[in-house]
């Protein structure tokens, strides 16, 4: 039977997508319903009918699925960031694991041995970073998240993924906004000052960085704000103004001015200390990043004699945590501030066999190949869009024994694995890692071997304490 907008139908949810929508079948039509779970029996209110599918909302839950749970976050429904807020964590990880497997099967036509998902112990308050857009209308201040598919700010106090202190810090900044009649940036006119409040916390070190992204050069009452923030939160080690005067939706501008502290914070990862500047990438879930890196080290199968190339290295984290198990480490990263951090991180941890190059990964790989460098193992950790075909070609021409590909998008990972397969590199093993509990994102580490090589897996060994002294 045909259905149309505003019809109410009975529906049984058979499956759940990565964005937390359940899918039920009405005759042959797939009907997507947000906030449902597999096994729910519901009355669905049809919102839109397309040729192959329809979209609906819950009118009534007739029989709730056993996968359901109560979401403790006060802003869960408003914000939309936690696709799996209403679903038990075991089910969420099973969905993510299955999604990774399916991407390999459908996109790459490959079936690497996929290990059980590396699940998180902490599913709330795990993030170490927040970038809140700001909207000020007279006395009304909104700091939170953009509503989905829009740039309307939804005020989201009390988000349970963030560290608790962020709320108090935001409140101090709100008070300051009112006192100094600070305006918020308007994307259409390009006027107004405050764009984003960007906060970071070293999960292990406890150090906090506050960064205000502004469309201007200075922020009214800077000194007073610094005194207030640091007085109330001694963990704040740095307060930075980031200048972004461009008409763009890129959050951060290229220039930073430190108004309190050293301009960076530090954190500990795999027994090393890392300096993190505002413009440098740092994994948002530190505890799970450690487990991801351990898996990456296992797949890298290092014995101490290798040249290791870490492409898209950020502040050097992955490579540096493996530096004690290789002869030579080369890291490549495009953001200058991150490369500086990487160099200092090597130095501060007594690592002397590492060098870092500030360049586009594909260009640097080509230059290194032309110089005759042939790494034994190459790590790839690109942004969501994955690697360019050019980079994949150069990497395979360098003929490493192993490639360890770390990815935050299973679809682009699978696409790239398919290209690698054509060049002789087979995806042998993969491990999904849940770095983003409750949300629709999943990280994967995948190991590609040259077809002629046998797979060896060397268990990760944490750096022993004598290592740093040995190198000094
Ligand atoms: N491996 C690091 C960072 C991964 S995030 C870690 O685990 O912490 C991806 C990194 O790639 C970011 O630091 C980003 O700045 C960098 N990047 C993005 N495009 C790049 C390019 N074309 N060439 C080199 N690095 C790039």
pLDDT at site 225? 98
pLDDT at site 461? 54
pLDDT at site 63? 97
Across 343-391, where does the E strand assignment appear? 354-358, 377-380
DSSP-derived 3-state class of residue 110: coil
Distance of alpha carbon 292 from alpha carbon 72, whole angstroms: 27
Q: Which two tokens stand for residue 175?
A: 């008070």
Mutate to test the pocket of ligand 1, among 251, 294, 333, 405 (most ligand atoms within 8 A of CB): 333
pLDDT at site 470? 30
Name the residue with tokens 């190059």.
357
pLDDT at site 468? 37
pLDDT at site 284? 97
Mutate to test the pocket of ligand 1, among 312, 336, 363, 409 (most ligand atoms within 8 A of CB): 312
pLDDT at site 20? 82
Q: How many other C-beta atoms are found inside a 10 Å radius of the C-beta of residue 11?
A: 24
Prediction pTM value: 0.92
pLDDT at site 457? 53
pLDDT at site 66? 97
pLDDT at site 456? 55
Intervals of the chain under pLDDT 50? 464-472
| pLDDT one-digit tens code per residue, 423-439 | 999 999 999 999 999 99
Q: Which domains does the chain have, with CATH numbers?
A: 8-68 (2.40.50.140), 97-120+285-471 (3.40.50.150), 129-264 (2.40.50.1070)
Contact 72, 124 (CB under 8 A): yes
Contact 408, 446 (CB under 8 A): no
CA-CA distances (angstroms) from residue 365 to 84, 315, 324, 375, 437?
Answer: 39, 18, 23, 10, 34
pLDDT at site 261? 98
Q: Which two tokens stand for residue 341?
A: 């951090």
Ligand 1 atom 1: the closest Cα is on which residue?
Answer: 313
pLDDT at site 80? 83
DSSP-derived 3-state class of residue 470: helix
């Amino acid at each position: 039977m045909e259905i149309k907008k505003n019809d109410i139908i009975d529906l049984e949810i058979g499956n759940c997508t990565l964005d937390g929508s359940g899918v039920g079948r009405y005759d042959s039509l797939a009907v997507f319903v947000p906030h449902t779970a597999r096994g729910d029996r519901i009355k669905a209110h049809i919102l839109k009918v397309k040729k192959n599918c329809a979209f609906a909302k819950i009118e009534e839950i007739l029989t709730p699925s056993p996968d359901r749970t109560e979401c403790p976050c006060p802003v869960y429904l408003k914000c939309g960031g936690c696709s799996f807020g209403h679903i038990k964590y075991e089910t969420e990880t099973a969905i993510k694991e299955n999604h990774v497997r399916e991407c390999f099967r459908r996109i790459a036509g490959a079936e690497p041995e996929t290990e059980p998902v590396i699940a998180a112990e902490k599913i709330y308050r795990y993030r170490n970073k927040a970038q809140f857009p700001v909207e000020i209308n007279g006395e009304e201040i909104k700091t939170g998240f953009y509503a989905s598919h829009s740039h309307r700010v939804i005020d989201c106090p009390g988000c349970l993924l963030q560290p608790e202190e962020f709320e108090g810090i935001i409140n101090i900044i709100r008070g300051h906004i009112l006192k100094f009649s600070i305006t918020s940036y308007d994307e259409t006119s390009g006027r107004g000052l405050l764009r984003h409040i960007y906060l970071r916390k070293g999960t292990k070190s406890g150090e906090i960085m506050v960064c205000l992204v502004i469309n201007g050069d200075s922020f009214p009452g800077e000194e007073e704000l610094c005194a207030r923030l640091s007085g109330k939160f001694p963990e704040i080690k740095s307060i930075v103004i980031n200048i972004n005067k461009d008409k763009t939706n890129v959050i951060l501008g290229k220039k930073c001015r430190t108004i309190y502290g050293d301009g960076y914070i530090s954190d500990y990862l795999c027994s090393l200390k890392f300096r993190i500047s505002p413009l440098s990438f740092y994994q948002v879930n530190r505890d799970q990043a450690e487990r991801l890196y351990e898996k990456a080290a296992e797949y890298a199968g290092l014995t101490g004699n290798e040249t290791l190339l870490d492409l898209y290295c950020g502040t050097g984290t992955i490579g540096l945590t493996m530096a004690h198990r290789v002869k030579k480490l080369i890291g490549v990263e495009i953001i200058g501030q991150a490369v500086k951090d990487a160099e200092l991180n090597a130095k501060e941890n007594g690592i002397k066999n590492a060098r870092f190059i500030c360049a586009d990964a594909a260009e640097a790989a080509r230059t290194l190949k032309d110089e005759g460098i042939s790494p034994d193992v190459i790590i790839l950790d690109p942004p969501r869009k994955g690697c360019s075909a050019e980079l994949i070609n150069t990497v395979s021409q360098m003929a490493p024994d192993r490639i360890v590909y770390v990815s935050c998008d299973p679809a682009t990972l699978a696409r790239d694995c398919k290209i690698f397969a054509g060049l002789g590199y087979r995806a042998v093993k993969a491990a999904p890692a849940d770095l983003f509990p409750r949300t629709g994102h999943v990280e994967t580490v995948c190991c590609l071997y040259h077809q002629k090589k046998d797979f060896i897996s060397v268990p990760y060994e944490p750096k022993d304490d004598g290592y740093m002294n040995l190198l000094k």
